[in-house]
């Protein structure tokens, strides 16, 4: 009796859980499906769940002159911004985690608060500075801005991960004769690799998906995927098949990244507030 | 064991020359962020008191508070403030409320839970322009959209959502992007809840509802604070979704502050007016930040 | 090998003084143990010697040379941490090799040294293992090995055995003592385990709140604690303390009346001036003799008997309500609620004045064998 009720309850939970999950995921699934339908199939009514898949839309996307360029722009911006942000963040996070002083807490919160500065608030000066320094519509310019905006987050994440490393291990390194540089490169970094990797990953994801600065600071030359996709919004460019194919290409790598690393991402994203 | 950690916590501060080399390592990051946060801020403030239009070089010089006056008396501006508030609050309510419920749901054991979870958090990894266009075209298009087809299938007339309810629709799209984030964080928090604590409550005879309100929710408070903080940062400047779906329209029905500033600056080239808007955006963000950072700081052990 | 000398060493954190002027000189090859209650500053003192913590004031000399401003590795020390602090990403061999590598020791020499140490510590079969794959005792050995290979002048240990279970701890204690005898290196060892301190030390340093209370060999501390704190701290089970008043005193003895009215004669000098003053009588549980006696008698009722096998602890309520612990041989036939009589051997009793300072005893060495 009780067992039956429990089983019934867990069936209801499973049903609700699955319905919600499918409903939330459906647009992504549909995008994936539509990308294989070809232009005609994509707008068929009623929408088709079963059809003969075709790569027609992908071919067309690849043929659009700027697709590859856009992808390389995105990669350049994401990797460039992430690497530079880490170069700045790792020493900063090390100092705060292992050599804390009276002002450490204040510094951390201040860094976080710079992230609170709304991009729109500084859109105008950034735009004008970029224009005057010829960084407008360049990969470098966008990468720089992305680096600035993500740095508070990378510092925080690294700080959180560094704090989990037992101090005596670093001290043992010091006792063994490691200087500060060796202590960081030979002891800390190998230990912090998973943390640094997930920080880099989050930074990559944020850069890859960043839309505000991409749309405002780039046009034909340095546009990343986020801006490229936006060009499908014009009414005359309303091709569901191509839109879906391009979107799938833009989203798939990050989605895969995210699925694989969700656990580490959470740990970093919560700034250690959730154990 | 705890004695060990507290001792090492104490000894975190290392010896020789700690202060100096610590400052040296911190300096580059602090410098870069300082430049990044101060220079544009000062410039925005400066421009906001100037007559400055990119296409009208004859117009220049000190404008006093004219830009502000002009902006504050502009009904579009008030509408955009209202829309910003609707967007932020609406999405926060949906994502935190829904996120908490879903976190509890996906904390339950059921067949294929792992897969279902991954599906739920997926939209978080989708870039804003893609999300917006997916919804605008594949889902909500009045003719070809799946939702429209479903409405027709049950005998209803499809609605042109983005025309009829632009703000609400944008809000739903943004909520779809951010609900997964809340689930991701809150689920982790729920799972970190001590099983013994739940069992103790069970033995005390607490029902599911009482357990939720007295055990789960208090436990989630710091995670919820983090979710609200991070989401607010992003929600205050939602831009891409509006740009590719409604372009702020019809009229200014779905223009938020971010989009207004963008249209003033980059469509109308009114640097002074846009900067005044920027200053107001910064003030608003700072008010929000003052509350949020403090709330979160309380939950952080630094 | 190396001497270590501390000259009015102090440590101040922000405003609080944690180490309040420690003077200590450690001979070459000596095994010195720091003991004291939690938070008394043992680790801080050790870490200052190691160079992991700045010395606020005072001088630290190793082999007569001031090393206050030298980096840890330049001081020629090695340290074994409580948590082992092995490098988790390196295997056992690499863990031991790291310091040698940093010191630019040639490859062949490194190998030779590591293999020798591994043999000594029976780690030969684990050289390829990562720390995560080792048991607690093995990790402890690797940590020790890592310290030994560098052939330091001074070994520092911070509660190295406290993470091990009781039997392993006993075993490692013996191994450490053996190792010390063989290597003959100067060693400073922090613990709050009595037994470790008593069995391993040449010299024990008792610390309290950043102050050295007493320095001496284990037996000196046991036989002649300088004050109440040391008397309480050294010995297990701890010394019994009974309040009393001096009623008569000679050059060598004092007669003390306890609260119960019993009068006890104690071998203690310099009590003549204390006649009528309140004092504390101390007697170790193992020195109280069960059975009838003519002098220094006491009686009471047994409340609890703890049988430890080789010994038994009787918790006896005396007539004045004071609780006394008596240690007897394990086979004793006494049960709870039994009335017992016992005696305090005059030469085994300690007397402390109202400030807690021990009254001088005539002879300081161990008494009757
Ligand atoms: N970095 C620090 N800042 C402030 N106070 C500290 C710091 N490090 C240690 N202390 C304080 O110094 C005192 C001595 O600490 P220490 O770790 O030396 O004690 P201990 O004798 O080793 O204790 P235990 O037996 O618990 O290990 C403690 O009160 C501790 O709180
Ligand atoms: Mg300690």
pLDDT, residue B299, reads 61
Q: Same domain for C35 and C173?
A: yes
| Token reading at A220 | 């034909």
pLDDT, residue B19, reads 61
pLDDT, residue B293, reads 67
Each residue's pLDDT, cut to its tens digit, for chain B (302 residues) gives 333 434 444 444 444 445 677 788 888 988 998 988 888 888 888 888 877 777 777 777 777 777 788 888 888 888 888 999 899 999 999 999 999 999 989 988 888 888 998 999 899 999 998 999 889 888 888 888 888 888 888 888 888 888 888 899 999 999 999 999 999 889 888 888 777 777 777 777 777 788 788 878 888 887 888 888 888 888 888 888 998 888 887 888 888 888 888 888 777 777 888 888 888 888 888 887 777 767 666 665 54
Whichever domain contains C244, its CATH number is 2.40.50.140
Q: Mean of the pLDDT values across residues C261-265?
A: 86
Fold adopted by A64-269: MetI-like fold (1.10.3720)
Residues of C within 8 A of B7 (CB-CB) are: 43
Q: Which of A144, A116, A268 is nearest to A196 (CA)?
A: A268
User: pLDDT tens-digit profile of A148-162?
Assistant: 988 988 998 898 888
Q: Residue B11 is nearest to which of C47, C51, C72, comparing CB atoms? A: C47
Phi, psi for residue A190 in degrees, rounded to 5: -60, -35
Among all bound ligands, the one having the nearest atom to the CA of C53 is 1
Q: Which of C203, C233, C263 is the last residue of a domain?
A: C233
Number of helices (H), then strands (E), in chain B: 15, 0
Q: Report strand pairing: C240-249 vs C211-216.
A: unpaired
- Give domain status of residue C155, yes or no: yes
Q: Do C52 and A174 touch (CB under 8 A)?
A: yes
| Of the candidate ranges B142-151, C140-149, C153-162, the one whose mean pLDDT is the lowest | B142-151
- Residue nearest (by alpha carbon) to ligand 1 atom 19: C39
| B133 against A43, higher pLDDT | B133
| C293 against C89, higher pLDDT | C89
pLDDT, residue B45, reads 86
Residues of chain B with CATH 1.10.3720.10: 70-297
B-C CB pairs within 8 A amount to 21
- Residue nearest (by alpha carbon) to ligand 1 atom 17: C43
Distance from CA of C10 to the nearest CA of B (A): 15
pLDDT band at C151 (very low <50, low <70, confident <90, very high): confident
Q: Which of C174, C200, C233 is the last residue of a domain?
A: C233
> Given the CA of residue C207, which atom of ligand 1 is nearest to it?
21
pLDDT above 90 for C189: yes
Please tell me if residue A187 touches chain C, with a CB cutoff of 8 Å.
Answer: yes
CB atoms under 10 Å from CB of C32, counted, come to 22
Q: Same domain for C35 and C79?
A: yes
| Token reading at C305 | 């008997």
Q: Report strand pairing: C154-158 vs C311-318.
A: unpaired
pLDDT band at A124 (very low <50, low <70, confident <90, very high): confident
Q: Do B4 and C38 touch (CB under 8 A)?
A: no
Whichever domain contains C35, its CATH number is 3.40.50.300
Give the whole-angstrom CA distance, residue B239 versus residue C226.
Answer: 77
Using an 8 Å Cβ cutoff, are A265 and A201 in contact? yes
> Given the CA of residue C37, which atom of ligand 1 is nearest to it?
25
Phi, psi for residue A237 in degrees, rounded to 5: -100, 25
Q: Do A271 and B146 touch (CB under 8 A)?
A: no
Q: Same domain for C257 and C125?
A: no
Q: Do B16 and C43 touch (CB under 8 A)?
A: no
Using an 8 Å Cβ cutoff, are C135 and C184 in contact? no
pLDDT, residue B16, reads 40
Q: Hey, which residues does C78 pair with through a beta bridge?
A: C155
Q: Do A240 and B185 touch (CB under 8 A)?
A: no
- Residue nearest (by alpha carbon) to ligand 1 atom 7: B10
Q: Which helix (H) or strand (E) holds C150?
A: none
pLDDT band at C366 (very low <50, low <70, confident <90, very high): very low
Per-residue burial over B156-177, b if 16 or more Cβ lie within 10 Å, else e, is eebeebbeeebbebbbbbbbbb
- Give domain status of residue C368, yes or no: no
Residues of A within 8 A of B137 (CB-CB) are: 238, 240, 243
pLDDT above 90 for A86: yes
The one-character DSSP state at B213 is I
Q: Residue A187 is nearest to which of C81, C87, C103, comparing CB atoms? A: C87
User: Among C44, C47, C162, which residue has the most ligand 1 atoms within 8 Å of its CB, making it the best to mutate?
Assistant: C44
Q: Which residues of C touch A (CB under 8 A)?
A: 50-52, 71-73, 77-79, 81-83, 85-89, 98-99, 102-103, 146, 150
| C205 against A40, higher pLDDT | C205
Residues of B within 8 A of C53 (CB-CB) are: 11, 15
List CB contacts of B99: < 8 A, sequence separation 6 or more.
B179, B181, B182, B183, B185, B186, B227
| Token reading at C71 | 């980096």
Q: Same domain for C217 and C251?
A: no
Q: Which of C75, C217, C64 is nearest to C154 (CA)?
A: C75
Distance from CA of C81 to the nearest CA of A (A): 7
Residues of C within 8 A of A168 (CB-CB) are: 81-83, 85
Q: How many residues are there in chain C?
A: 369
Q: Mean of the pLDDT values across residues A95-107?
A: 84
Taking the CA atoms of residue C159, residue C161, residue C162 and residue C167 in that order, the dihedral angle to the nearest 10 degrees is -160
Nearest CA in chain C to A170: C85
Number of helices (H), then strands (E), in chain C: 8, 20
> Given the CA of residue B3, which atom of ligand 1 is nearest to it?
26
What secondary structure does DSSP assign to A76-141, as a single string? HHHHHHHHHHHHHHHHHHHHHHHS--TTHHHHHHHHHHHHHS-GGGGHHHHHHHHHHTT-TT-HHH
Residues of B within 8 A of A127 (CB-CB) are: 265-266
The one-character DSSP state at C15 is T
Sheet holding C350-352, edge to edge: C263-267, C253-258, C240-249, C278-283, C350-352
Residues of chain A with CATH 1.10.3720.10: 64-269
- Residue nearest (by alpha carbon) to ligand 1 atom 9: B10
| C353 against B205, higher pLDDT | C353
Among all bound ligands, the one having the nearest atom to the CA of C18 is 1
Q: Residue A175 is nearest to which of C78, C88, C89, comparing CB atoms? A: C78
Q: Same domain for C10 and C142?
A: yes
Using an 8 Å Cβ cutoff, are C126 and C138 in contact? yes
ipTM of the complex: 0.85
Q: Same domain for C214 and C134?
A: yes
- Residue nearest (by alpha carbon) to ligand 1 atom 25: C38
User: Among C18, C162, C163, C213, which residue has the most ligand 1 atoms within 8 Å of its CB, making it the best to mutate?
Assistant: C18
pLDDT, residue A272, reads 60
Q: Same domain for C211 and C253?
A: no
Q: Do C88 and A173 touch (CB under 8 A)?
A: no
Using an 8 Å Cβ cutoff, are C146 and C95 in contact? yes
Q: Do A172 and C86 touch (CB under 8 A)?
A: yes
Q: Mean of the pLDDT values across residues A126-143?
A: 89
Provide the residue range defining the domain that includes C76.
4-233
Q: Same domain for C58 and C182?
A: yes
- Residue nearest (by alpha carbon) to ligand 1 atom 6: B10
> Given the CA of residue C11, which atom of ligand 1 is nearest to it?
12
CB atoms under 10 Å from CB of B287, counted, come to 10
| Token reading at C216 | 């001496």
Please tell me if residue A178 touches chain C, with a CB cutoff of 8 Å.
Answer: yes
Taking the CA atoms of residue A250, residue A256, residue A258 and residue A259 in that order, the dihedral angle to the nearest 10 degrees is 150
Please tell me if residue B73 touches chain C, with a CB cutoff of 8 Å.
Answer: no
What secondary structure does DSSP assign to B116-183, as a single string? HHHHHHGGGGS-HHHHHHIIIIIIT-TTT-HHHHHHHHTTPPP--HHHHSHHHHHHHHHHHHHHHHHH
Q: Do C47 and B4 touch (CB under 8 A)?
A: no
pLDDT, residue B246, reads 85
Neighbours of chain C (3+ CB pairs under 8 A): A, B
Q: Which of residues 18-47 of B touch C (CB under 8 A)?
A: 18
Give the whole-angstrom CA distance, residue A268 versus residue A166.
Answer: 18
Q: Same domain for C35 and C154?
A: yes
Q: Do A212 and B258 touch (CB under 8 A)?
A: yes
Q: How far is the centre of ligand 2, averaged over its atoms, from the C-alpha of A150 (Å)?
A: 40
Residue to test with chain A: of C48, C89, C130, C139, most A Cβ within 10 A: C89
Q: Same domain for C211 and C247?
A: no
Using an 8 Å Cβ cutoff, are A162 and A94 in contact? yes
> Given the CA of residue C159, which atom of ligand 1 is nearest to it?
27
Q: How many domains does one find in chain C? A: 2
> Is B70-297 a CATH 1.10.3720.10 domain?
yes
| Token reading at A120 | 């729109």
Q: How far is the centre of ligand 1, averaged over its atoms, from the C-alpha of C190 (Å)?
A: 13
Q: Same domain for C260 and C296?
A: yes
Q: Which of B171, B22, B201, B156 is nearest to B82 (CA)?
A: B171
Q: Do A168 and C87 touch (CB under 8 A)?
A: no
Using an 8 Å Cβ cutoff, are C233 and C43 in contact? no
User: Which residues are near ligand 1 (CB < 6 Å)?
Assistant: B 3, 7, 10-11, 13; C 13, 18, 36, 38-44, 192
Distance from CA of A230 to the nearest CA of B (A): 6
Q: Same domain for C8 and C50?
A: yes
- Give domain status of residue C166, yes or no: yes
List CB contacts of C238: < 8 A, sequence separation 6 or more.
C232, C285
């Amino acid at each position: 009796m009780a067992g039956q009720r429990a089983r019934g309850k867990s069936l209801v939970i499973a049903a609700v859980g699955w319905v919600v999950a499918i409903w939330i995921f459906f647009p992504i699934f549909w995008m994936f499906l539509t990308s294989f339908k070809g232009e005609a199939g994509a707008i068929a009514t009623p929408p088709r769940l079963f059809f003969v898949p075709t790569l027609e839309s992908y071919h067309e996307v690849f043929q659009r002159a700027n697709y590859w360029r856009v992808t390389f722009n995105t990669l350049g911006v994401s990797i460039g911004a992430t690497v530079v942000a880490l170069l700045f963040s790792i020493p900063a996070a090390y100092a705060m985690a292992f050599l804390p002083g009276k002002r450490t807490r204040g510094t951390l919160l201040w860094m976080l608060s710079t992230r609170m500065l709304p991009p729109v608030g500084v859109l105008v000066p950034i735009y004008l500075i970029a224009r005057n320094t010829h960084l407008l519509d360049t990969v470098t310019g966008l990468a720089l801005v992305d680096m600035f905006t993500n740095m508070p987050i990378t510092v925080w994440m690294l700080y959180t991960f560094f704090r989990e490393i037992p101090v005596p291990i670093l001290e043992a390194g010091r006792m063994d004769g490691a200087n500060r540089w060796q202590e960081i490169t030979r002891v800390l970094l190998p230990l912090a690799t998973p943390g640094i990797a997930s920080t880099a990953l989050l930074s990559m994801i944020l850069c890859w998906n960043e839309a505000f600065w991409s749309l405002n600071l780039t046009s034909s030359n340095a546009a990343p995927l986020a801006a490229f996709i936006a060009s499908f919004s014009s009414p005359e460019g309303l091709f569901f098949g191509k839109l879906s194919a391009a979107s799938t290409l833009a989203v798939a790598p990050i989605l895969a990244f995210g699925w694989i690393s969700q656990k580490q991402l959470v740990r970093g994203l919560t700034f250690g507030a959730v154990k | 064991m705890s004695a060990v950690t507290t001792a090492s916590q104490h000894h975190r501060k290392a010896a020789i020359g700690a202060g100096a080399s610590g400052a040296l390592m911190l300096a580059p990051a602090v410098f870069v962020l300082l430049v990044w946060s101060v220079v544009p801020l000062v410039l925005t403030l400066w421009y906001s008191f100037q007559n400055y239009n990119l296409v009208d070089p004859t117009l220049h010089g000190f404008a006093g508070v004219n830009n502000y006056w002009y902006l504050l008396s502009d009904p579009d501006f008030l509408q955009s403030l209202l829309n910003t508030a609707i967007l932020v609050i609406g999405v926060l309510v949906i994502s935190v409320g829904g996120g908490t419920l879903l976190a509890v749901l996906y904390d339950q054991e059921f067949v294929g839970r792992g897969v279902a979870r991954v599906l739920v958090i997926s939209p978080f990894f989708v870039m804003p322009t893609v999300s917006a266009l997916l919804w605008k075209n594949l889902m909500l298009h009045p003719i070809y959209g799946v939702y429209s087809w479903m409405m027709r299938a049950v005998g209803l007339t499809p609605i042109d959502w983005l025309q009829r309810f632009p703000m609400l629709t944008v809000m739903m799209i943004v909520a779809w992007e951010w609900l997964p984030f809340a689930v991701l964080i809150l689920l982790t928090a729920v799972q970190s809840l001590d099983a013994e604590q739940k069992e103790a409550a069970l033995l005390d005879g607490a029902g599911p509802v009482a357990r939720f309100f007295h055990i789960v929710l208090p436990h989630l408070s710091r995670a919820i604070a983090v979710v609200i903080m991070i989401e607010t940062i992003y929600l205050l400047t939602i831009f891409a979704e509006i740009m590719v779906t409604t372009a702020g329209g019809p009229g200014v029905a779905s223009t938020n502050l971010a989009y207004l500033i963008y249209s003033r600056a980059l469509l109308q080239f009114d640097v002074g007016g846009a900067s005044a808007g920027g200053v107001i955006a910064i003030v608003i963000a700072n008010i929000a930040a003052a509350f949020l950072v403090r709330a979160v700081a309380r939950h952080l052990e630094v | 090998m190396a001497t270590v000398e501390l000259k009015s060493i102090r440590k101040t954190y922000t405003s609080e003084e944690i180490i309040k002027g420690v003077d200590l000189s450690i001979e070459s090859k000596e095994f010195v143990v720091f003991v004291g209650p939690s938070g008394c500053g043992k680790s801080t003192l050790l870490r200052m010697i190691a160079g992991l913590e700045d010395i606020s004031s005072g001088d630290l000399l190793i082999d007569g040379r001031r090393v206050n401003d030298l980096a840890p590795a330049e001081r020629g020390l090695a340290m074994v941490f409580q948590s082992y602090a092995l490098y988790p990403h390196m295997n056992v061999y690499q863990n031991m090799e790291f310091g040698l590598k940093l010191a630019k020791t040639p490859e062949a020499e490194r190998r030779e040294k590591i293999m020798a140490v591994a043999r000594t510590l029976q780690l030969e079969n684990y050289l390829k293992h990562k720390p995560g794959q080792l048991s607690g005792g093995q990790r402890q050995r690797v940590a020790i090995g890592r310290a030994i290979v560098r052939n330091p002048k001074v070994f520092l240990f911070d509660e190295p055995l406290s993470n091990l279970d009781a039997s392993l701890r006993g075993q490692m204690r013996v191994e450490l003592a053996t190792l010390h005898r063989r290597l003959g290196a100067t060693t400073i060892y922090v613990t709050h385990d009595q037994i470790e301190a008593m069995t391993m030390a040449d010299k024990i340093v008792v610390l309290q709140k950043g102050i050295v209370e007493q320095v001496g060999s284990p037996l000196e501390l046991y036989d002649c604690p300088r004050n109440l704190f040391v008397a309480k701290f050294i010995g297990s089970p701890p010394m019994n303390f009974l309040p009393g008043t001096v009623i008569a005193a000679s050059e060598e003895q004092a007669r003390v009346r306890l609260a119960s009215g019993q009068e006890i004669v104690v071998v203690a000098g310099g009590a003549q001036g204390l006649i009528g003053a309140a004092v504390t009588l101390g007697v170790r549980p193992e020195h109280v003799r069960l059975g009838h006696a003519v002098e220094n008698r006491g009686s009471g009722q047994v409340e609890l008997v703890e049988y430890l096998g080789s010994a038994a602890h009787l918790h006896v309520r005396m007539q004045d309500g004071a609780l006394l612990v008596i240690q007897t041989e394990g086979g004793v036939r006494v049960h709870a609620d039994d009335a017992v009589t016992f005696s305090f051997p005059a030469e085994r009793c300690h007397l402390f004045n109202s400030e807690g300072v021990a009254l001088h005893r005539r002879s300081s060495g161990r008494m009757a064998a």
